[in-house]
Chain A
Amino acid sequence: MRDTTSAAPHTSATPLLQTVGLTKRYGSFLANDKIDLDVWPQQIHALLGENGAGKSTLVKAIYGLVQPSEGELRWEGQTMVLSGPSQARARGIGMVFQHFSLFDNLTVAENVALGLDGKESFKEMSARLQQVSRSYGLPLDPKREVWQLSVGERQRIEIVRALMQNPKFLILDEPTAVLTPQEADQLFVVLERLKSEGRAILYISHKLEEVKRLCDTATILRGGRKVSTCNPKAETAASLARMMVGTEIKEVKPAASREITVPRLVINDLNLEPDDAHGVHLKGISLELRGGEILGIAGVAGNGQDELFAALSGERLARDPGTIVIEGIAAGHLSISRRRKLGAAFVPEERLGHGTAPRMRLSENALLTGHAAGNMVQHGFVNTAATLNAVDRATETFDVRKAKRDPEAASLSGGNLQKFIVGREILRNPAVLVVSQPTWGVDAGAAAVIRQALLDLAAGGAAVLVTSQDLDELIEISDRIAVMFHGHLSASLPTAEASREKLGLLMGGSSLETKEQAHAADT
């Protein structure tokens, strides 16, 4: 363990917040193991680590959501025992969660009021809301209902709600995960301003470039333990990653040359109304994807990616068969099983409950998508040997770590389950693979294996469509990238021409809107 002091001098004698030997035990599992953390006023302190490293547990302890098993919290040098988040807020600790806790059908002001402990009237609160949001450059209309707002605007509500309590210490959990690059830049301005006001910020992220740019100090966790506290500006992204993962991460290598062949997946002017009130209407989506190609679809979550996946997989049927063509056959009206028989395979975003039945064994989950084609079912009877064989092959090829040969899906870690799901589909040798968020919430080692598998699949002649919110991932593996915004899909850009700035603009809808305005002006 090394402990280099941060570059910036501290303005006060004691840290604002300390954890001393903080340990949290769940049964025999140590989520946090004797973690020491010092956060000073006027500091943006990054908390780095892979999924399962213990970041969430640590911040939950600081915010009073979990009680430490051992060790203690100190606030301005004094021992602090928190029995709940309201006590944390009373001391001046605020938190912005990664998953928003907002009511879609309530207005901005109503949502903020629900999260505040104060006794001021609703009118005073609304006025203060407007004043706080304006002064920090986070514009919000208090009277709008949440469901009408973009993800970035929803995050603003959470941030403003936290700021209205005038916190000395603010915890942000992966705040840029749902933002376009431009929105993230705006957020950084706000964070710098909060820092200059003397507040401390604990910033959870796994985007290393962002941390290097923004943070003064970084504490890195791995397997529940603190690996290091360092100055991220003095480190490289690779050295930070090495500390997070513990080993070198294998570089993902595309095949030297790939042959682009026939169109394997074609979408012709797909329009689809949403089946629930707050869903996204798909409008005029067209694309052509050839064998040997990987097409990336970028976009902020909730812009129609889920609806597009459902339309492509056949979980929702299109009215006109010709809108979706798989391997040259009109498939818009075909069920998911029929599409699988045509050579298509699908990997949804949700691993548990969508991609797998959580409480069923892996062999049964192999049967879930393997029953339509192949030898798993004979005369209506399940060939158990064949399903187990599929599990073994996926385990071997993709290094799935599990406690026994055929455990329940829910007992695997996120990375291992994702490797199993991707392996299950790839080992069926699909001609077309549609995959959504392939490495979401997956450790770096598993992510590299999965990306490599997608590249290899394309090299073998398959067409691969990847939807992801991680721009770096798309830039790494895609040949072309298109952007979804409000149910529209932009024309695709060759990856070499797709700069983060260009993609960011498309993700914010700017070029599409100008096109629409031009169109409106024409008519």
Chain B
Amino acid sequence: MQLILEKRAERSKIVALVSPLIAIGLTIVTMTILFMVLGKNPISALYVYFIVPLTDGYSLQEIAVKATPLVMIAIGLSLCYLANAWNIGAEGQFLMGAVAGSWIAVKTQGTEAGHWVLPAMLLLGAIAGALYALIPAICKVRFGASEILTSLMLVYVADLLLDYLVRGPWRDPQGFNFPTTAEFDPVATVPTLIEGGRLHLGSILALIVVAAGAVLLGKTIKGFEIRVVGAAPRAARFGGFNANQLILLTFAISGALAGLAGIIEVAGPVGHLQPGISPGYGFTAIIVAFLGRLNPIGILIAGLFLALTFIGGEQAQITMKIPLDVTKVFQGILLFYVLACDSLILYRFRIVSSSPQVARGAH
């Protein structure tokens, strides 16, 4: 008996839908073992992780708040990945967007500036994210530098820049020396949707981004170009599509969306610029993009699911003293299984008898 992977004639639509669920199932099994090794009751740990956050209104809002940047970034990343351009540096683009947008907030602090402030911040955040993403894209197109390395390394540059600004020039003079800017003025703050709640306008923007992504990929020639260039580069060239242009375009879009997510996070839930504004949204969004099958609707669902693990992780730390890093372990294992299960879309398992004696017996 032998287990072989056999190529399917066509991609399986059913497996494409089911594979993320299989991956989640396998991840939960692995996590159960991990919790037992840690000496925690796996049933109650999983309950705290996945069920408790769904039981009260505050946590549900918090899930939407956390999902907002994840979904926005992941939509942009999915365009890159479909085009075979590997933007790993969304975290850096997120921080750059946050820094650039905050610049307007800091400069207009305490002035009579009107309602143009927030739109200008969002616009500048998106532009900064796009420009920051274009650095690795241009290096790739012009010099053939690996965008995986350059985009990743630029994350640390952005991180340190933010650190410098909030400890130096932009530090709040009344902030007791904490590394943070002053609280943003109301005109520089993203409005909330529910009085006294946490849910904010950015979540609506994320939904619009999802819809726009779906239209771009499904209905337009640009979306088609992006998909062909990734799926069959030589055919794309034959079709007259310029791969380099598409690398620049997808990097710029994904940088802009990451930057927008960054400034929304700072001007929304956080309310001021400080280090640690992101619990790794830019990296988690990579998992969201793949778990969502690089499909906008899938990304929306995957974003909500990953947000759940952030909230659940916090709960588990509070109530069961499970380290917060376990959440990252969980996300890493999930990505691993998602990528593994993806091979089942194009391949299937078959059990074959390898012994010729058996074959002859059947004759």
Contacts and interface: CB of A to CB of B under 8 A. Distances in A.
B211 to A, nearest CB: 15
Interface stretch (B3-11, B33-41, B270-278): B3-11
B237 interface: yes
A36 interface: no
Given A340-B240, A381-B219, A408-B10, A353 B234 contact: yes
A358 B231 CA distance: 8
B221 A377 contact: yes
B319 interface: no
A67 B354 contact: yes
Contacts, number: 87
B232 A358 contact: yes
Interface string B226-246: 011001101111111000000
B222 interface: yes
B228 A368 contact: yes
B236 A315 contact: no
Interface string B323-363: 00000000000000000000000100010001010011011
A71 B228 contact: no
B239 A369 contact: yes
A171 to B, nearest CB: 20
Of the listed residues B232, B234, B236, B359, the one surrounded by the most CB atoms of chain A closer than 10 A to its CB is: B232
Interface stretch (A114-122, A177-185, A359-367): A359-367
A382 B220 contact: yes
A493 interface: no
B343 to A, nearest CB: 14
Nearest to A361: B10
A388 B341 CA distance: 32
Interface string A5-38: 0000000000000000100000100000000000
Contacts of B235: 353-357, 368
Contacts of A248: none
B356 A67 contact: yes
Nearest to A313: B238
B224 interface: yes
B26 to A, nearest CB: 25
Contacts of B6: 27
A81 B356 contact: yes
Given A358-B232, A359-B11, A336 B221 contact: no
B72 to A, nearest CB: 23
Contacts of B240: 314, 335-337, 340, 371-372
Interface residues of A, number: 41
Contact of A353 (B11, B224, B232, B359): B232
Interface in A93-138: none
Nearest to A357: B232
A69 interface: yes
A367 B219 contact: no
A346 interface: yes
Contact of B224 (A71, A81, A367, A411): A367
Contact of A411 (B9, B234, B359): B9
A348 interface: yes
Nearest to A408: B10
Given A360-B227, A408-B11, A354 B238 contact: yes
A255 B363 CA distance: 54
B182 to A, nearest CB: 44
Contacts of A72: 360
Contacts of A357: 228, 231-232, 235-236
A371 B356 contact: no
A382 B356 contact: no
B63 to A, nearest CB: 34
A355 B232 CA distance: 10
A68 B362 CA distance: 12
A305 to B, nearest CB: 16
A274 interface: no
Nearest to A364: B224
Nearest to B218: A382
A382 B234 contact: no
A374 interface: no
A197 interface: no
Contacts of A70: 359-360, 362-363
Contacts of A69: 359
A139 B48 CA distance: 77
A407 interface: yes
Contacts of A346: 238
Contact of A371 (B221, B234, B237): B221
Interface string B161-178: 000000000000000000
Contacts of A71: 363
Contacts of B10: 407-408, 410-411
Contacts of B359: 67-70
Central interface residue in B6, B227, B359, by most chain A CB within 10 Å:
B359
Interface string A170-198: 00000000000000000000000000000
A374 to B, nearest CB: 12
A382 B10 CA distance: 24
Nearest to B234: A354
A348 B231 CA distance: 18
Given A336-B240, A357-B236, A27 B350 contact: yes
A315 B238 contact: yes
Contacts of A377: 221
Interface in A60-88: 67-72, 81
Nearest to A67: B356
Nearest to B355: A67
B9 A360 contact: no
Contacts of A337: 240
B249 to A, nearest CB: 13
A356 B237 CA distance: 11
A367 B363 CA distance: 49
Contacts of B239: 336, 368-369, 371
A94 B9 CA distance: 32
Nearest to A346: B238
A407 B13 CA distance: 12
Nearest to A370: B239
Contact of A360 (B219, B222, B232, B363): B232
Contacts of A410: 9-10
A54 B258 CA distance: 54
A368 B233 CA distance: 12
Nearest to B362: A70
A367 B220 CA distance: 11
A260 to B, nearest CB: 30
A356 B60 CA distance: 46
A378 B45 CA distance: 54
Contacts of A359: 11, 231-232, 346
Interface string A389-432: 00000000000000000011011000000000000000000000
Contacts of B222: 380
Contacts of A335: 240
A313 B240 CA distance: 10
30 contacts: A21-B363, A27-B350, A68-B356, A68-B359, A70-B359, A70-B360, A72-B360, A81-B356, A336-B238, A336-B240, A337-B240, A340-B240, A348-B238, A353-B232, A354-B235, A354-B238, A355-B238, A357-B231, A359-B231, A359-B346, A360-B231, A368-B228, A368-B235, A368-B239, A371-B240, A377-B221, A380-B222, A381-B221, A410-B9, A411-B9
Given A360-B228, A368-B239, 16 more contacts: A27-B350, A67-B354, A70-B359, A81-B356, A313-B238, A355-B235, A356-B232, A357-B236, A364-B224, A364-B228, A368-B228, A368-B235, A369-B238, A369-B239, A380-B220, A382-B221
What are the 8 closest A-B residue pairs judged by CB atoms, nearest first? Answer: A337-B240, A357-B232, A368-B239, A357-B235, A336-B240, A70-B363, A377-B221, A354-B234
